[in-house]
Structure formats: C-alpha cells, structure tokens
Chain A
Amino acid sequence: MDKLILYMQYPFVRYALIVGTLIALCSSLLGVTLVLKRFSFIGDGLSHVAFGAIAIASIFSIEGKMVLVLPITIISAILLLRTGQNTRVKGDAAIAMISVGALAFGYLLMNLFGTSANLTGDVCSTLFGSTSILTLTQSEVWICVVLSILVVVLFILFYNKLFAVTFDENFAKAIGTNVNGYNLLIATVIAIIIVLSMNLVGSLLISALIIFPALSAMRLFGSFKKVTVFSAFISVVCALTGIFISILAGTPVGSTIVATQVAAFAVCCLVGSVMGGIRT
C-alpha cells in the first residue's frame, strides 16, 4: 500500500491511470456492437493498419504520430467496412490482405529505415504496448482525454441509433434510418478507439480490450443497456487493476490488463452459469 501511495506521487503514474481509465471506458462502449455485428475482425485488421502507420510516422520522425496515424486508420476503417458489406468471403480476404500486408510493410520499413538502436524493443512495444503507457507526455495525455470525451459524447448522443443499427439493420433501413451513415460513424469511432488503445495495450492486444468486457457482460445480463453499462464498468475495473499489478509486479502493462480481462471473463462465465444469468 505504501508503495502505491509513493508511486501515485509520480506524474507518469497518474497519467497512466487517467489514460488507462479513459481508454478502457471508450474501448468497451462499442464492444457489444462489434461482437454482435461480427465486426470484431475489423478491429483486428485496423490495429495492424495502425501499426503500419506508426512505422511510417516514426521513419519520417513526424512530430505527434497521431496526425498521420488517425486519418490513415479512419480511412482504412471505412474501406474495410465497405468491402465487408459486400460478400462476406471477399471482405474477409480483403481484411486479411490489408492487415497482414500493413504489418509486414511496417516491420520492413522499420528495419530498413529505422534509426533507433533498439529496433526489436520498438517493434515489441508497438505490438504489445509494453511500457509505453508509463512514458506518456503531457500532450499525449491531452490528446487522449479529448478523443475519449469525443468518443463518449458521440456514443451517448447516438446510443439509440447505434442500438437500432446493431440490432436489426434491415428494419432500420426499411423505416428510413440512415444506416450507411451510422455504419460510417461506427467505423470512424472504432478507428479512433483503436488508435487510442495502441498507447495502452499495443496493436496486437487491442481486440481483447474491445471484446472481452462485452463478452463478460453478455454472460450476465439480458438487455442491451445493462450489458453496455456493465461492460464499461468491468473494463475500467480491469484496466485499473491491471495497471496497478503491472506497476507493483513490474509486468508489461498491456498483457497484464488483458490477463485481468480474461480472469474477469472466467468469473462472469462461472457466475452466469451458476445463476442462470441474472437476466433482464
């Protein structure tokens, strides 16, 4: 406990906690939609694209990687959604191509043009997040705060429409809802969330951050609203727990958080099957 209080005095620990909470909150919000719309594959593909974009940004040593990474990821999200809407198989193949391509290309670029002495370390921390959350600068924290607020506000404003489009797209379209517009919004927000979460868990573990809280909550509750609220709650709790454990035990932040999520999922499964679900 003393150790914790001591740590809390360091600004980078406080930053990590703020950023961790916000990112956990945002990433869980669209989890239900992603899981139920079978969009989880997009999350995976996008994180690889973001990895490629970061590689490019670091080669040209662009100040504030976000300026490059965010637009590239958003555009890819929209493109992936478009292809995914056509035929399922073609969409899947396109995603596999783009995501693996971006991954390979990014690594190649880093190898060829990388200036850093510790290349493996760089790649590793981009992929797994490792310690990067503890080295956040103040401006990165601010960007994160602004983007998180944007995501939460958008989510609340469009909650009912997002539900409608997630639940039954055809019905929504039939009665005059602008389904394509909302799908575009979902893609954009997913892209923002992914870029944000790269800071916390790295690109390979992002899907876990997005999907696990939703899956856990779905074990326990039977209404969309309750699942959404509970997955936000469990996501934040797991992120904070994970960050504390990683500080105290010196483990990598990203994988510790994901491990906590997996444990929470197991607990939810157990509780869900024992109680038959709290339902409603």
Chain B
Amino acid sequence: MALITVKNLAIGYDSQAILAGLSFEVNPGDYLCIIGENGSGKSTLMKTLLGLSSPLDGEIVPGDGLKKNEIGYLPQQTFIQRDFPVSVREIVISGCQSKMGFHPFYSSKQRKEAEKNMEKMGITDLADRCYRELSGGQQQRVLLARALCAAEKVLLLDEPVSGLDPDVTAEMYELIKSLNDEGLAIIMISHDIFAAMKYSDHILHIGDELFYGTKENYLIYAKEDLSKWIN
C-alpha cells in the first residue's frame, strides 16, 4: 500500500491555483524526484504535502499507517535569525521533538539517534559549535541530520544541494541515496535533471505539462527536451 496517495490535487495560495490535477503516489522505499522550472510550484507542492499550506482541491491520503511524526523535512530555505544562539546538537535533536509524546525530555534512545545521525552527516566534531558560525555546506548537513531524526518512513527534501559546491553536492546525493537504500522513501525537489536521472526511480514533472511515472518512462516521454538540455 502506498505511503502517500495524491488524488487530483490543486495547490496555490489564497485560493489562487498554481497547479491543478496532480495525481501520484509514493510507495515505501521509493525515490521520487520532483522537477520543474523555477516558480512552477514545487516547494508549494511539498508544503501542501506536509500540511504547511492547504490544498485548494483534491486530497492527500496517507497510507500504510503513516503518521505525521514519521516524516522528515529539509526546507528549501530555513530562515534562522542571524543572532540565534543555538548549538548544532540542539538543532539536530529537535528533529526528535514529535516523537516525545507527553515526555518533557528527550529519551536516551533519542539522544543516541541524534548522535548517530550527526555521525552519518560527518558533523560529530561540530556538535557543540554555534550554528551561525558554520559554513553553508555545514549548516545544510546539520539540517539534514535534523530531518533524519524525524524521518522514520519518508524524507522530503527541497533542493538539498542548492548553495553547495560540486564536491559536496555529489557527496550529498550519495548520502541521500544510501538512506534510500536503507529503506527510507525519498521525495526530493531538484533542479538537476542529471542527478534526478541518476538517483531516483520515479519522476514527477510539474509545469505546463504534468508527468508522473517511472524514470524509464520519463526518458521516453521527455526525449526531445532532454536532448535539448544535453546540447
């Protein structure tokens, strides 16, 4: 059964639709890439999936017992005030906040989880550093580690590599792929059509024309566009 089933969804702001008639599903272990031009509504779609923005029409049905607190999220931009005093460890463990239930404090299991995810992201030695002093790439890893703490079944990533240099970008993609190999379903927004082709197994193309299907079918569907891109 699908983790998330989207039926005939319309998204937008203040009842102004940006996109309508979206239908797709995400199954356990899927790697779905959402591609489309700037301003086509990718981030809005992700926010709608997460309940940060309300759907104008259609429905989003969670399945397979998916609960809200089993979803991890890496926003496109995290607006954090320049002078916010916060350590890396404090940010990462806040990814466990929705698993606390009525416990006021983090359990030792959750603390270990945070340490493990910091290790995965290679930021263990930064744990006690102040977030605002880190480089862009390091900050992105911190936020990804936080998302991992929250992601039990699904991880939503909104342009996870924007602002990273090429080396770090490749590393980031490999990391995300390894998480997917461990069984986590990934929904990733990307500008980078080549990365989408390399790593994902399903493609959702949004814009004037909508496409949803496997990567192989997308290759057939978008042959001309793709060859244009390559040249």
Contact = CB atoms under 8 A, between A and B. Distances in A.
B51 A174 contact: yes
A176 B94 contact: no
Contacts of B133: 222, 279
B85 A227 contact: yes
Contact of A168 (B67, B71, B80): B80
B94 A163 contact: yes
Contact of A175 (B71, B80, B85, B105): B71
Nearest to A176: B68
Interface stretch (A13-21, A50-58, A151-159): A151-159
Interface in B48-103: 50-52, 67-69, 71-73, 75, 78, 80-81, 83-87, 90-91, 94-95, 97-98, 100
A224 B133 CA distance: 14
A223 B85 contact: yes
A280 B68 contact: no
Interface string B117-133: 00000000000111011
A14 B75 CA distance: 52
Interface residues of B, number: 37
A225 B87 CA distance: 9
Contact of A222 (B67, B97, B132): B132
A175 B104 contact: no
A161 interface: yes
Given A167-B84, A218-B83, A160 B78 contact: no
A177 interface: yes
A177 B150 CA distance: 11
Interface in A197-212: none
B185 to A, nearest CB: 15
B69 A222 contact: no
Nearest to A227: B85
B146 A171 contact: yes
A138 to B, nearest CB: 33
B194 interface: no
A217 B84 CA distance: 11
B221 interface: no
A224 B85 contact: yes
B86 A167 contact: yes
A10 B96 CA distance: 51
A173 interface: yes
A95 B53 CA distance: 26
Given A171-B146, A222-B132, A160 B52 contact: no
Given A160-B104, A163-B94, A225-B90, A175 B75 contact: no
B13 interface: no
Nearest to B151: A175
Nearest to B68: A176
A175 B69 contact: yes
B25 to A, nearest CB: 20
Contact of A176 (B69, B80, B128): B69
B130 A175 contact: no
A233 interface: no
29 contacts: A32-B85, A157-B104, A163-B90, A164-B94, A167-B80, A167-B84, A167-B86, A167-B90, A167-B94, A171-B73, A171-B94, A171-B146, A173-B51, A174-B156, A175-B71, A175-B95, A175-B150, A176-B71, A177-B97, A217-B85, A222-B85, A222-B87, A222-B129, A223-B87, A224-B87, A224-B90, A279-B130, A279-B133, A280-B87
Given A167-B80, A175-B150, A224-B86, 20 more contacts: A36-B81, A167-B84, A168-B78, A170-B75, A172-B94, A174-B47, A174-B71, A174-B73, A175-B98, A176-B98, A218-B85, A222-B85, A222-B86, A222-B87, A224-B87, A226-B85, A279-B129, A279-B130, A279-B133, A280-B130
